[in-house]
Amino acid sequence: MNAPYFIETLARNGDVLHRHRVDALPIRLGRGYDNDYIVDDDHCAARHAIVDHGEDGQLVLRDLGTRNGVVHRGKRSASVTLNGDTVVRLGHTSLRVRPADFPVPPEQLDRTRHGWEGGVPGLVGMLLIGVTALCSVWLNDTQPFQLIRYLQALAYGIGAALIWCGAWAFANRLFGRHARLGRHLFVFGCGAAAVAVFKLVSSLLAYSFSFEFITRYGAHVVVAIGAVMLFYHLVTVKPNSRHRFAVICVLLGVLGSGLTLISNEQRMGRLGDELYMSVILPPGTRIARDHTVDEFMGEVGAMRAALDAERAKKARDAAAAEDDDD
């Protein structure tokens, strides 16, 4: 490991916050002004640690007998061998030391989507949230027009978005360099708009073509959209963990769908969300063939036979239970 050496201060997500060059060993670290690298941390000692060559020629960081010590991989250590990727914590500050000849990985494809940042994506997200809230009230409004209902829906939608995205922005600032509130608002707005569009289109298709299964299992599509939203929130916080977050979100989506099926079975005795389509649209939107009265009565007769058989079975079971008690 050849000089010069670079001491890097790291954020919690591994991003480099600051890089300082030191031309020779030993490197003294601490809060005092006579150090080679000043650690601006109240939990760091005035002379906290020193970096020098070990007996085998590798870089070694040694604690100078401080109160809080040197922490590596969650454990306090008197000395730590540094290989360039070794991260140590002095007080509340995470550091690593790299020589000038440390190899760097190849240039990565930029997937941070810089166009999603700033005020414009945030305003677009807020606009999508507001339009979604207003359209939801308008489509479900069966009472005389009252402006207060629309204003309340708009306020609730924007308020919920700010609380949700504010929490993600706080996590982004805590684990990274920037809050990126605009991007989180854009992700939330796109997700909310996708859910609203799916419900509208699925209701239209289900009513027009009698595709009842679309609305019967529509909750799983909403769960999938939520998993995608969660994925983009997470990769905004830590862009380098895309594959891990993708696996996590897929597993959460599968878990959410499974819990939905179990809940439907326990509450209603069926796996679907609803037995019939709950949205009735104008007759002009119907494209599927209308069923005749005879067909309807035939289905009713088959349903009646099934219900009669079920009641008869319950009666037989009850009688058998009484005989056993006697």
pLDDT for 307 equals 83
Closest CA relative to residue 175, chosen from 126, 241, 123: 241
Consecutive 10-residue runs of the chain (326 residues): their mean pLDDT? 88 85 94 95 95 90 95 94 94 94 80 68 90 84 82 91 92 82 91 90 80 80 94 87 91 93 83 69 71 76 83 83 68
Q: What pTM value is reported for the model? A: 0.60
pLDDT for 141 equals 74
CA distances from 303 to 18, 127, 273, 296, 310 (A): 73, 48, 20, 11, 11
- Could you state, in order of their start, the residue ranges of all structural domains in the chain? 5-99, 117-268
Which tokens hold the place of 76? Answer: 């306090």
Three-state DSSP at 72 gives strand
CA distances from 293 to 124, 227, 282 (A): 50, 44, 21
Three-state DSSP at 155 gives helix
CATH no. of 5-99: 2.60.200.20
pLDDT for 173 equals 84
pLDDT for 279 equals 67
pLDDT for 276 equals 63
Cβ neighbours of 121 (radius 10 Å): 22
Q: Under a CB-based contact definition with an 8 Å cutoff, are residues 84 and 99 in contact?
A: yes
